[in-house]
């Protein structure tokens, strides 16, 4: 099998999507931690010269990049009216997931974790951190009962649980990062 490398960052939900998928499939890889805020490596810039973002999965020397904008990011990055608009977008997204995607199954595609679960895995862990920082609770059990239950079940799955970053460490990191994006008072 050709060499597989993953350039990621521990606070990134997008990195964890790839980590979970590789671990669930038992695919060996080399993980390369990136300092995405202050010191991106020359290899990351070489493999993703346009967006300069993680994650980047390199298979046989060829990069596979992912870059997704999300309403959660807008909520994190803004205050006031812009943050309120992003909160509404997040609630609509969660409502669609609750009503149309999750169904009555334990996981999105049945009784075991699949690719859709890893794609939405960021909701299970990172949304809670962003909620804590912004001071808005979105994923309430009474508003989104199935999605709320899914987040708990997903995070309890051994492969996922063993590969989640520490909540407090993430809070600290995201608070520092948010200060970089918000205008000075």
Q: What is the pLDDT of residue 33?
A: 96
Q: Where are the beta strands (DSSP E) in 30-173?
A: 30-33, 56-59, 62-65
CATH architecture of 71-181: Up-down Bundle (1.20)
Whole-prediction pTM: 0.67
Omega before 13 within 30 of 0, i.e. cis: no
Q: What is the pLDDT of residue 38?
A: 87
Q: What is the pLDDT of residue 184?
A: 67
Query: Tens-digit pLDDT profile for the chain (185 aa)?
Result: 568 899 999 989 889 988 988 888 788 899 999 998 889 999 998 888 767 888 888 877 877 655 333 456 666 767 788 888 888 888 887 887 788 777 788 888 789 998 778 878 878 888 889 899 889 898 999 999 999 999 999 999 999 999 999 999 999 998 988 887 777 66
CA 14/CA 10 separation, integer angstroms = 10
CB 115 within 8 A of CB 124: no
CB 173 within 8 A of CB 11: yes
Per DSSP, the three-state class of 6 is strand
Q: What is the pLDDT of residue 126?
A: 86
CATH T-level fold of 4-65: Glutaredoxin (3.40.30)
Three-state SS string over 45-63 comes to: HHHCCCCCCCCEEEECCEE
All structural domains of the chain with their residue ranges: 4-65, 71-181
Q: What is the pLDDT of residue 65?
A: 58
CB 9 within 8 A of CB 15: yes
């Amino acid at each position: 099998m050709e060499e597989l490398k993953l350039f990621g960052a521990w606070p990134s939900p997008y990195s964890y999507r790839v980590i979970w998928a590789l671990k669930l499939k038992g695919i060996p890889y080399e993980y390369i931690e990136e300092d995405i805020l202050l010191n991106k490596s020359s290899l990351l810039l070489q493999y993703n010269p346009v967006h300069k973002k993680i994650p980047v999965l390199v298979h046989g020397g060829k990069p596979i990049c992912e870059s997704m904008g999300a309403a959660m990011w807008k909520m994190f990055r803004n205050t006031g009216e812009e943050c309120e608009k992003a909160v509404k977008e997040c609630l609509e997204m969660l409502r669609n997931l609750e009503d149309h995607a999750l169904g009555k199954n334990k996981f999105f595609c049945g009784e075991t974790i699949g690719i859709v679960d890893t794609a939405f895995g960021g909701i299970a862990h990172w949304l809670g951190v962003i909620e804590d920082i912004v001071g808005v609770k979105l994923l309430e059990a009474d508003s989104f009962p199935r999605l709320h239950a899914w987040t708990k079940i997903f995070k309890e799955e051994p492969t996922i649980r063993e590969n989640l970053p520490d909540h407090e460490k993430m809070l600290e990191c995201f608070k520092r990062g948010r200060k970089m994006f918000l205008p000075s008072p």
